[in-house]
Chains A and B, each alone.
Chain A
Amino acid sequence: MKFSQFIGQEDAGLGLLLNAVDPRCGGLLLVGGRGSGKSTLARLARGIIPAHLPFVELPLNVTEESLLGGIDLEQTLASGRPVLQPGIISRANGGVVFVDDINLLSRELLALLMEPQSRGMEIIQREGLTEQRESSFVILATMNPEEGDLSPHLADRIGLCAVMEEQNGRDERLAIMRLAKETPFFTVEHDREAMDLISVARGLLPEVRFSAQALEHLQQVVQRNISPGHRGDLFLYHAARACAALQGAADVEKEHIDRVANLVFSHRRLQLREEEQNSTEPEQPHDQDQQQNNEQRDDQGEQPPPPENGQDENDRHPSGEGEHESTVSMGESAQREEIMGVGAPFKLRRLSFRKDRRKRQANGRRTRTRIKGRGGRYVKSLLSSTEHDIAIDATLRACAPFQKARNRQGMLKIEQDDLRFRQRERRMGHLVLFVVDGSGSMGARQRMMETKGAVQSLLLDCYQKRDKVAMIVFRKDRAELVLPPTASVELAARRLAELPVGGKTPLASGLLKTHRLVRRTSMHHPEQRILVVLITDGRGNQHLTPETRKEEVSNLAGLLMEEPQCDFIVIDTEHKGNFLRSDLAMDLARQLEAEYYTIEALKSEYLAGMVQARMPG
């Protein structure tokens, strides 16, 4: 298949051409959903760059040594002195590095990839060897945002970004099928015409003039597209010139700038939104060099899809509803049991943890973590370690330069100092423990449905992050573990739907049960991080002890606080429009140092998200 046969997605195609004309356009990031053709298009790029230029693929299995280069085992042995083997970055010099699913790669590796690109220089330091060489290459990357975010600071390093739009046009779909019919296996063919076009444009490029007027217009465009930093301006400048060259123009005109503005700013605007969102969480540091922060943002990406009927969530409070609810909650006697439907789920506020450096053995996607043991991705080798397995490849490379001195005959001689160890990495999920108030005070139909909707949304988030979930329900005279920790979020959703409501509110029992489960879990899995999501209006009315209800609850909260691996979220289900509001859940949240949300707050985040999604760009 040829580049020019690709159907639709003009912006993405233009982005590729611009980079082929002038690498100073800074690379291209293709963002699109599954099956949108982003990887296909990126691979077709190989057919439009001259055959002598490298096109190096960076697979997901890459290790740090392979990216940067390292000791070449064979040549070092042969020559008796250390010889460097070029890594991907060196091999790509002057050409393209293609990274499919860039957001699945570790942040550290990406930082290592981007650094020489922005410095224009590659510095290799391996086993006492240092080499510097010039380095210039273009990054071509794809990502599916459903799979997680790309840290905005890394995204900012990539010059252009094209969002692959949903292509539901009937004619286009037909044309794509016709093409697929003819090409049973995908192979890339050279596209002569496109290459000719590029080479003509490359010839014109040095002559393309940027008039003062055009610069003026560029500034205006930059002003309109508020984006942090100045990288955008520069990329816009080069992209506009390349665009003019492609069209055979001697001067950059306004339309060239306008044509490429979206490519330059689509991901930078996103970045800005991200930062606005982050700034609402003041406890999180903002230093861009802080790895930790990058990691954390990375993990905020996966969000549930918007619900079908998200809109009417807002109009669901007919005035009569509140009264009805208050009568029930005041009575608290509701002995009847009922099973309410599950309210529509909504897009969630992003819940995430600060990345921690403790080593864990766990599996999931919420937080990336360094781990002990043998599972997970081998990312790089370390000099010393007591708890990692030996990285044989790195050990062999380390011992290679000394073989002559050690008088090797046949087998390699390996000494203690040569040993290198594997550092592995894996994303870690958490145990998310839902503690749900199922008492009569929750019994107002509307309230419970909304609560179920909230839990449902949180479950979706867990599903995408590979968390384990468990559920405790407290109602009538006791708390019950209705779902022991499981990886099946599906099962949790089913339990949730079946959840009956009615009876008194044994909040203390709920907390006690929670504490027991937390203790038990941390005994078996001392490294498991636990997120307790407490969903209640805080109005406990069932005592366990002779103490007052309030004391009892605060004692239990104190007990829970002693569990170091626990984080808490309190979702207050009390109707805040009600003049009898007690804000008891808020007190509890304070005692637990929990993040506190009302259902409305969770929801408004969702609505805010909707608004943002509709912003142009």
Chain B
Amino acid sequence: MHFPFTAIVGQEQLKTALILNVIDPGVGGLLVMGEKGTAKSTAVRALAELLPQLTVVRECRFHCQPDAELCSFCQERKKEAPLTLGQRKMRVVELPLGITEDRLIGTLDIEHAIKQGEKRFEPGLLADANRNFLYVDEVNLLEDHIIDLLLDSAAMGVNSVEREGISFSHPARFILVGTMNPEEGDLRPQLLDRFGLCVQVSGLHGKEQRMDILRRKAAFDSDATAFGVQWREQQEELAQRIVDARERLNSVELTDSALEKIVTITSALQLDGHRADIVIMKSARALAAYRGLPDVGSAEIRDGALLALPHRQKRLPFEELGSERGRLERVLEESLP
């Protein structure tokens, strides 16, 4: 039993950023910067718990989506008979820091090879992660070559393996959630840029809020089921809202003037590349869908930019993260009257 997502006190930006990724996985993941004990992993787990089940191909190691690109196994099976479908809860797959390359991308099934003399692909963590959340605590402490492999698949949505006599590829579309504490080492800017959104979290300081957290946590610990019942209505309401938003997403209007506003912001901040433009656009659109609006307005662009830009702004060397927030807010003020 997980702590209900809707019962998490505060951390609105974090919650919104996660929800936007669920509504449109094209937003491209989330990097959470901040201290320990700020409900980061709780929030991710709780959100996965709340979401409706996925339709998957039954007995597929990659939980293939029946109407999308299939893995090589499913493609073979489909030729013989129609695929049987099943339902599955979205999961949070954790990537441990000491992970090896083999475990991440998959490897030769050794037992099978020795016993049967046949080579078979033993899927790795990226296979588990397909269509799920991939949660990487302290992503900045991962070994470099692991990060490279991870982001390679994240960018393309495919894991291609060429090693140990195996040549195999399978879909690897996941919502990447990384956390980091910048004091413990940095992430290369190129890697920062690969995360769609970024939020900074800190412990809540208001007395009232801290009391709320205590009260709820105590209630949950003493009787999780009763606590769950208490929050059921809010939970169901949010789940429905997310489902509706997903359906509405493609009909949300994005006018040229909205796109112009986005470019005005990114040009004013002199951002490199096009990811910033695209991520703001996608998150603003997901926000509009979530808010039940017919089109993307200034408020959505503003909020989308606040999530998409904190880690993309040009920083002076070693300027502290967050110090550029003022600059961002100034530009938003000027660009979005």
Task: Determine whether the beta carbon of A100 is less than 8 Å from that of B152.
Answer: yes
**A59: B residues at CB distance < 8 A:** 152, 160-162
Task: State which of A62-70, A249-257, A328-336, A349-357 sits at the interface with chain B.
Answer: A62-70
**A168: B residues at CB distance < 8 A:** 267
**A393: B residues at CB distance < 8 A:** 107-108, 110, 113, 163-166
**Proximity bits, A54-95, B CB within 8 Å = 1, else 0:** 000111111101110011111001000000010010010000
State whether A63 and B164 are in contact (beta carbons under 8 Å apart), knowing that A74-B117, A101-B152 are contacts in the complex.
yes
A489 interface residue (CB < 8 Å to B): yes
User: Min CB distance, B83 to chain A, in Å?
Assistant: 21
Task: Determine whether the beta carbon of A60 is less than 8 Å from that of B152.
Answer: yes
**B105: A residues at CB distance < 8 A:** 61
B79 interface residue (CB < 8 Å to A): no
A23 to B167, CA, bound (A): 26
B208 interface residue (CB < 8 Å to A): no
**Proximity bits, A33-47, B CB within 8 Å = 1, else 0:** 111110100010000
Seen from chain B, the residues whose Cβ lies within 8 Å of a Cβ on chain A are: 24, 26, 100-102, 105, 107-108, 110, 113-115, 117-119, 143-145, 148-149, 152, 155-157, 160-167, 182-186, 188-190, 193, 254, 256, 259-260, 262-263, 266-267, 272-278, 281-282, 285, 316-318, 320
Identity of the chain B residue whose Cβ is nearest the Cβ of A181 in the assembled complex: B254
A178 to B320, CA, bound (A): 34
Identity of the chain B residue whose Cβ is nearest the Cβ of A37 in the assembled complex: B274
Task: Determine whether the beta carbon of A60 is less than 8 Å from that of B317.
Answer: no
A375 to B182, CA, bound (A): 24
16 contacts between A and B (CB under 8 A): A34-B190, A37-B274, A61-B161, A63-B162, A66-B166, A176-B277, A180-B277, A180-B278, A184-B26, A345-B317, A403-B117, A412-B113, A414-B114, A460-B318, A489-B186, A493-B317
**A426: B residues at CB distance < 8 A:** 143-145
- B189 partner, pick from A71, A146, A174, A345, beta carbons under 8 A: A146
State whether A180 and B272 are in contact (beta carbons under 8 Å apart), knowing that A61-B105, A365-B144 are contacts in the complex.
no
State whether A61 and B316 are in contact (beta carbons under 8 Å apart), knowing that A34-B189, A177-B259, A464-B188 are contacts in the complex.
no
User: Min CB distance, A526 to chain B, in Å?
Assistant: 21
The residue among A33, A67, A180, A397 with the most chain B CB atoms within 10 A of its own CB is A180
Identity of the chain B residue whose Cβ is nearest the Cβ of A71 in the assembled complex: B165
**A400: B residues at CB distance < 8 A:** 117
User: Min CB distance, B195 to chain A, in Å?
Assistant: 12
A606 to B164, CA, bound (A): 45
A61 to B167, CA, bound (A): 11
**Proximity bits, A362-389, B CB within 8 Å = 1, else 0:** 0111000000001111100000000000
**B260: A residues at CB distance < 8 A:** 174
A590 to B331, CA, bound (A): 52
User: Min CB distance, B263 to chain A, in Å?
Assistant: 5
Task: Determine whether the beta carbon of B108 is less than 8 Å from that of A392.
Answer: yes
Task: Determine whether the beta carbon of A363 is less than 8 Å from that of B148.
Answer: no
Would you list which residues of chain A between 197 and 247 have a CB under 8 Å from chain B? Answer: none
A411 to B184, CA, bound (A): 48
Identity of the chain A residue whose Cβ is nearest the Cβ of B114 in the assembled complex: A412
Task: Determine whether the beta carbon of B281 is less than 8 Å from that of A177.
Answer: yes
A170 to B259, CA, bound (A): 10
A378 to B256, CA, bound (A): 49
State whether A34 and B272 are in contact (beta carbons under 8 Å apart), knowing that A375-B143, A411-B114, A489-B318 are contacts in the complex.
yes
Identity of the chain B residue whose Cβ is nearest the Cβ of A375 in the assembled complex: B143
**B316: A residues at CB distance < 8 A:** 307-308
A490 to B145, CA, bound (A): 22
**B256: A residues at CB distance < 8 A:** 174
A221 to B105, CA, bound (A): 47
Query: Could you count the A-B residue pairs with CB atoms below 8 Å apart for me: how many are there?
Result: 197
- Top 10 nearest A-B pairs (CB, nearest first) are A35-B273, A393-B164, A493-B318, A35-B275, A487-B185, A77-B117, A66-B162, A63-B163, A180-B278, A59-B160
Task: Determine whether the beta carbon of B273 is less than 8 Å from that of A488.
Answer: no
State whether A396 and B274 are in contact (beta carbons under 8 Å apart), knowing that A85-B165, A304-B317 are contacts in the complex.
no
**B272: A residues at CB distance < 8 A:** 33-36, 166
State whether A377 and B281 are in contact (beta carbons under 8 Å apart), knowing that A66-B162, A173-B266 are contacts in the complex.
no
State whether A180 and B163 are in contact (beta carbons under 8 Å apart), knowing that A59-B152, A170-B267, A456-B317 are contacts in the complex.
no
A394 to B113, CA, bound (A): 12
Seen from chain A, the residues whose Cβ lies within 8 Å of a Cβ on chain B are: 33-37, 39, 43, 57-63, 65-67, 70-74, 77, 85, 88, 91, 100-101, 104, 144, 146-147, 166-168, 170, 173-174, 176-178, 180-181, 184-186, 304-305, 307-308, 345, 363-365, 374-378, 392-394, 396-397, 400, 403, 408, 410-412, 414, 426-427, 456, 459-460, 463-464, 466, 487-491, 493-494
Task: Determine whether the beta carbon of B190 is less than 8 Å from that of A144.
Answer: yes
A464 to B317, CA, bound (A): 11
A71 to B165, CA, bound (A): 8
A181 to B24, CA, bound (A): 12
Task: Determine whether the beta carbon of B160 is less than 8 Å from that of A466.
Answer: no
Task: Determine whether the beta carbon of A60 is less than 8 Å from that of B148.
Answer: yes
User: Min CB distance, A369 to chain B, in Å?
Assistant: 13
Task: Determine whether the beta carbon of A174 is less than 8 Å from that of B263.
Answer: yes
Identity of the chain B residue whose Cβ is nearest the Cβ of A58 in the assembled complex: B162
User: Min CB distance, A106 to chain B, in Å?
Assistant: 10
A74 to B256, CA, bound (A): 58
- B163 partner, pick from A62, A174, A177, A396, beta carbons under 8 A: A62
Task: Determine whether the beta carbon of B318 is less than 8 Å from that of A410.
Answer: no
- A57 partner, pick from B100, B160, B183, beta carbons under 8 A: B160
Identity of the chain B residue whose Cβ is nearest the Cβ of A378 in the assembled complex: B101
User: Min CB distance, A349 to chain B, in Å?
Assistant: 17
Task: Determine whether the beta carbon of A411 is less than 8 Å from that of B115.
Answer: yes
State whether A88 and B162 are in contact (beta carbons under 8 Å apart), knowing that A73-B119, A396-B113 are contacts in the complex.
yes
User: Min CB distance, B71 to chain A, in Å?
Assistant: 16
Task: Determine whether the beta carbon of A65 is less than 8 Å from that of B185.
Answer: no
**B26: A residues at CB distance < 8 A:** 184-185
**B162: A residues at CB distance < 8 A:** 58-59, 61-63, 66-67, 88
Task: Determine whether the beta carbon of A173 is less than 8 Å from that of B263.
Answer: yes
Known: A60-B148, A400-B117, A426-B145. 19 other contacts (CB 8 A): A33-B273, A34-B189, A59-B162, A61-B161, A61-B163, A63-B164, A101-B148, A101-B152, A104-B148, A146-B188, A178-B259, A180-B278, A180-B281, A376-B145, A377-B101, A393-B163, A459-B318, A488-B186, A490-B182
**A456: B residues at CB distance < 8 A:** 317-318
**B182: A residues at CB distance < 8 A:** 488, 490
User: Min CB distance, B92 to chain A, in Å?
Assistant: 22
**B259: A residues at CB distance < 8 A:** 174, 177-178
**B164: A residues at CB distance < 8 A:** 63, 65-66, 393-394
Task: Determine whether the beta carbon of B277 is less than 8 Å from that of A177.
Answer: yes
Identity of the chain A residue whose Cβ is nearest the Cβ of B182 in the assembled complex: A490
**A88: B residues at CB distance < 8 A:** 162
- A176 partner, pick from B110, B166, B189, B278, beta carbons under 8 A: B278
Identity of the chain A residue whose Cβ is nearest the Cβ of B272 in the assembled complex: A33
**A487: B residues at CB distance < 8 A:** 184-185
**A101: B residues at CB distance < 8 A:** 148, 152
State whether A73 and B281 are in contact (beta carbons under 8 Å apart), knowing that A66-B165, A392-B108 are contacts in the complex.
no
A46 to B155, CA, bound (A): 17
Task: Determine whether the beta carbon of B165 is less than 8 Å from that of A70.
Answer: yes
User: Min CB distance, A97 to chain B, in Å?
Assistant: 11
Task: Determine whether the beta carbon of A490 is less than 8 Å from that of B186.
Answer: yes
Task: Determine whether the beta carbon of A73 is less than 8 Å from that of B273.
Answer: no
**A166: B residues at CB distance < 8 A:** 272
**A427: B residues at CB distance < 8 A:** 144
A72 to B316, CA, bound (A): 53
User: Min CB distance, B322 to chain A, in Å?
Assistant: 12
User: Min CB distance, B308 to chain A, in Å?
Assistant: 12
A159 to B331, CA, bound (A): 44
**B263: A residues at CB distance < 8 A:** 170, 173-174, 177
Task: Determine whether the beta carbon of A488 is less than 8 Å from that of B318.
Answer: no
